[in-house]
């Protein structure tokens, strides 16, 4: 009797023999062998043993002598009971070993021209690779012609890549999909994909073919910047070119150039810088945040940029931040249209996007495939008809603010861009979408120079603009802005209460948090939300002028602490929402000097001690 492993293996083989197709001439003999019964009549025993052992060898060439003994001993014993001259187990073992040797000899024997042509035709190919083809494939794969025989297949864990006629590694394929894919991709290669059997040709197992014509990779690096894949034989690393640029001819388009001027407005220069660098995924770039009306070209821009890599759409933000981010291997342009899914954990959307933009290395997770390291930067484009996609909840210091602001280029797209696109025909816009914008971007890459690259990102967001946006865009910050803007327009509604919780003059607006809580409904009458002390306090802190701490003054015999509000935040909010008037706001706080938002030298927000002295440094709600 054999070992438990041998017995288990023999049992598995018996199950397979019982399920043999009825069209197989050995079906009856196989079923009898599986049951331990006589499988042949006198005079036919040798042929049946040869046929059965050949069948076993085709299924598995690594069976031990003990397994063959387990399979044949009962049947041969039953046959010897009738005829003592019946072959013994040794003959069955020898027949199996002979079958294995013949198959191995056939597999290693060089294929002749006839075999190669038949193999190619069996997969629908016109014919096998010629010597010139093989030299070109070897050169493209980065190896010598003599090494090519072991480079046709790269296997890592249970994932496969196959070398095609262009010298490109195609994949990855799971084991299930690799079997069929290999027959199609490698049929023209000088690899014996089929083997001769007693009944004709049969496709060889993927394991056998890989052993003879492949390599095992210890590591796979998926590279967004790579033009073609290559295998490093020394480190056993496959560098996978997951998303090379399409072969497009760079071409300047004056109509696209004019449209970009309308789209970018004051940020046109940075927008062109960004587009010129977009195709170089070795460079970190900020995200583009388009805020504008429908039909202004936000989606057209995103799809047009994606066309540098794919004929399909850009990667969707929800798929990229999900458990499987494999869409990045198809297109490195990530597009968020009007909405960004909330992260599953407590991390804010802004934090997730910051992380995505800040690295050229991440893990690529593909369904049913082993994770790989993904190298290369992404290109993130946000589009909305409002400025609330980002939030400021994770802004707790001026460094946080600067880190966020440099990663997002906020572009407020005006009606002018809509009107300009209306003059462009549908046919022209479809051409832009297909490859026009992509070609224009590639032309910019060759001819446009970014004169002042950023410190970390080649193109950075506008710190002042993003500062205003982040400080005023979130729900409660925006409500606080609206309340204060409306107060500045009609201050008498609140001042008549004579609480002293707001002071204004000499260009400054001093506000105690309790003012907004007590007078919430005075200026936000349509709001169905009750005032939240903590959230309003946080909002006012965000609107505080940079470099100042709260000032403590006496009012009606009591000490009251005030935040010094950055009036430019209110003006910026009023301009975006068409509520209030810049000059009226300035006059309300006693500042009649003409100026624009952003005149302050420091565009950061903090509660640290600065221009206004504080009586008490303690930071309390009131």
Fold of 254-463: Rossmann fold (3.40.50)
CB 349 within 8 A of CB 359: no
Percentage of the chain modeled with pLDDT above 70:
88
Q: Residue 287: CB partners within 8 Å, gap ≥ 6?
A: 353, 357, 380, 381, 382, 407, 408, 409, 461
CB atoms within 10 A of CB 77: 14
Q: What are the tens digits of pLDDT across the range 607-622?
A: 332 333 332 323 322 2
> E-assigned strands of 343-488?
361-364, 372-375, 379-384, 408-412
Burial of 436 from C-beta contacts in 10 A (0-12 / 13-18 / 19+): buried
CB 274 within 8 A of CB 409: yes
Q: Tally the C-alpha atoms within 13 A of residue 85's C-alpha that lie toward its C-beta.
A: 6
How far apart CA 305 and CA 132 sit, in angstroms, is 37
Residue whose C-alpha is closest to residue 305's, from 274, 344, 339, 346:
274
CB 185 within 8 A of CB 209: no
DSSP assignment letter at 555: E
Residue 398's pLDDT is what? 56
Q: What are the tens digits of pLDDT across the range 146-174?
A: 889 889 999 988 889 999 999 999 989 98
DSSP assignment letter at 342: P
Q: Residue 455: CB partners within 8 Å, gap ≥ 6?
A: none
CB 120 within 8 A of CB 187: yes
How far apart CA 614 and CA 622 sit, in angstroms, is 14
Residue 395's pLDDT is what? 55
Q: Long-range CB contacts (< 8 A, 24+ apart) of 355-358?
A: 356/320, 356/321, 356/380, 357/284, 357/285, 357/286, 357/287, 357/407, 357/457, 358/284, 358/407
Residue 106's pLDDT is what? 56
CB 539 within 8 A of CB 477: yes
More confident residue, 123 or 571: 571
Residue 131's pLDDT is what? 92
Distances (CA, A) of 339 to 66, 244, 382, 386: 65, 29, 9, 11
Residue positions counted in the chain: 622
Distance of CA 386 to the CA centre of its chain: 26
Looking at the predicted structure, is the pLDDT value of residue 138 above 50?
yes
- CA angle, 32 then 38 then 39, to 5°: 55
How far apart CA 614 and CA 123 sit, in angstroms, is 83
Domain ranges of the chain: 4-108, 113-241, 254-463, 474-588
Looking at the predicted structure, is the pLDDT value of residue 97 above 60?
yes
How far apart CA 509 and CA 491 sit, in angstroms, is 12
Residue 202's pLDDT is what? 79
Alpha helices in 109-218, H assignment, sequence order: 113-122, 131-141, 175-185, 206-213
CB atoms within 10 A of CB 319: 16
Residue whose C-alpha is closest to residue 548's, from 533, 536, 561, 532:
561
Residue 185's pLDDT is what? 93
Q: What are the tens digits of pLDDT across the range 413-459?
A: 988 999 999 999 999 999 999 999 999 999 999 999 998 888 889 99
pLDDT band per the 50, 70, 90 thresholds, residue 389: low
Helix (H, G, I), strand (E, B) or coil at 529: coil
CB atoms within 10 A of CB 359: 13
């Amino acid at each position: 009797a054999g070992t438990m492993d041998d017995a288990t293996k023999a049992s598995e083989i018996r199950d397979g023999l019982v399920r043999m197709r009825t069209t197989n001439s050995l079906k009856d003999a196989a079923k009898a062998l599986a049951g331990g019964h006589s499988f042949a009549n006198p005079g036919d025993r040798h042929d049946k043993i040869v046929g059965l052992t050949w069948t076993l060898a085709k299924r598995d060439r690594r069976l031990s002598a003990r397994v063959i003994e387990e399979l044949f001993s009962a049947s041969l014993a039953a046959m010897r009971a009738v005829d003592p001259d019946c072959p013994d187990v040794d003959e069955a073992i020898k027949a199996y070993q002979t079958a294995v040797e013949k198959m191995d000899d056939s597999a290693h024997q060089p294929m002749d021209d006839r075999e190669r042509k038949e193999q190619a035709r069996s997969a629908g190919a016109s014919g096998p690779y010629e010597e010139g083809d093989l030299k070109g494939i070897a050169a493209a794969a980065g190896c010598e012609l003599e090494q090519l025989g072991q480079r046709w297949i790269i296997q890592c864990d249970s994932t496969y890549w196959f070398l095609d006629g262009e010298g490109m590694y195609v994949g990855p394929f799971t084991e299930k999909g690799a079997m069929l894919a290999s027959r199609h991709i490698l049929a023209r290669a000088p690899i014996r994909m089929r083997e001769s059997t007693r009944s004709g040709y049969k496709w060889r197992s993927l394991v056998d073919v890989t052993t003879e014509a492949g390599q095992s990779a210890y590591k796979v690096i998926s590279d967004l910047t790579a033009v073609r894949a290559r295998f490093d034989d020394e480190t056993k690393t496959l560098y996978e070119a997951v998303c090379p640029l399409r072969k497009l001819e760079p071409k300047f388009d004056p109509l696209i150039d004019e449209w970009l001027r309308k789209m970018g407005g004051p940020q046109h220069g940075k927008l062109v810088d960004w587009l010129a660098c977009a195709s170089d995924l070795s460079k970190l770039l900020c995200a583009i945040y388009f805020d504008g009306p429908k039909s202004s070209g936000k989606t057209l821009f995103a799809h047009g940029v994606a066309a540098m890599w794919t004929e399909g759409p850009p990667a969707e933000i929800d798929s990229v931040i999900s458990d499987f981010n494999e869409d990045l291997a198809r297109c490195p342009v990530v597009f968020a249209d009007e909405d960004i899914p909330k992260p599953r954990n407590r991390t804010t959307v802004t934090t997730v996007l910051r992380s995505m933009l800040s690295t050229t290395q991440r893990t690529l997770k593909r369904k049913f495939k082993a994770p790989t390291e993904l190298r290369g930067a992404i290109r993130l484009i946000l589009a909305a008809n409002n400025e609330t996609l980002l939030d400021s909840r994770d802004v707790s210091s001026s460094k946080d603010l600067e880190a966020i602001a440099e990663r997002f280029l906020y572009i407020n797209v005006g009606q002018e861009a809509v009107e300009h696109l209306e003059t462009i025909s549908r046919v022209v816009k479809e051409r832009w979408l297909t490859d026009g914008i992509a070609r224009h971007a590639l032309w910019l890459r060759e001819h446009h120079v970014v004169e002042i690259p950023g410190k970390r990102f080649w193109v950075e967001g506008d710190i002042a603009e993003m500062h205003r946006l982040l400080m005023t865009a979130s729900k409660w910050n925006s409500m606080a802005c609206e309340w204060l803007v409306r107060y500045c327009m009609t201050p008498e509604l609140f001042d008549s209460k004579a609480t002293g919780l707001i002071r204004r003059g000499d260009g400054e607006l001093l506000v105690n948090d309790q003012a907004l809580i007590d007078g919430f409904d005075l200026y936000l009458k349509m709001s169905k939300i009750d005032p939240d002390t903590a959230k309003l306090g946080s909002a006012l802190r965000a609107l505080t002028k940079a470099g100042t701490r709260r000032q403590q003054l006496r009012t009606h015999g009591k000490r009251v602490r005030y935040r010094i509000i950055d009036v430019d935040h209110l003006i910026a909010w009023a301009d975006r929402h068409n509520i209030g008037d810049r000059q009226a706001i300035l006059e309300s706080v006693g500042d009649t000097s003409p100026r624009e938002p952003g005149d302050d030298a420091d565009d950061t927000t903090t509660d640290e001690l600065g221009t206004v002295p504080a009586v008490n440094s303690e930071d309390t709600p009131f």
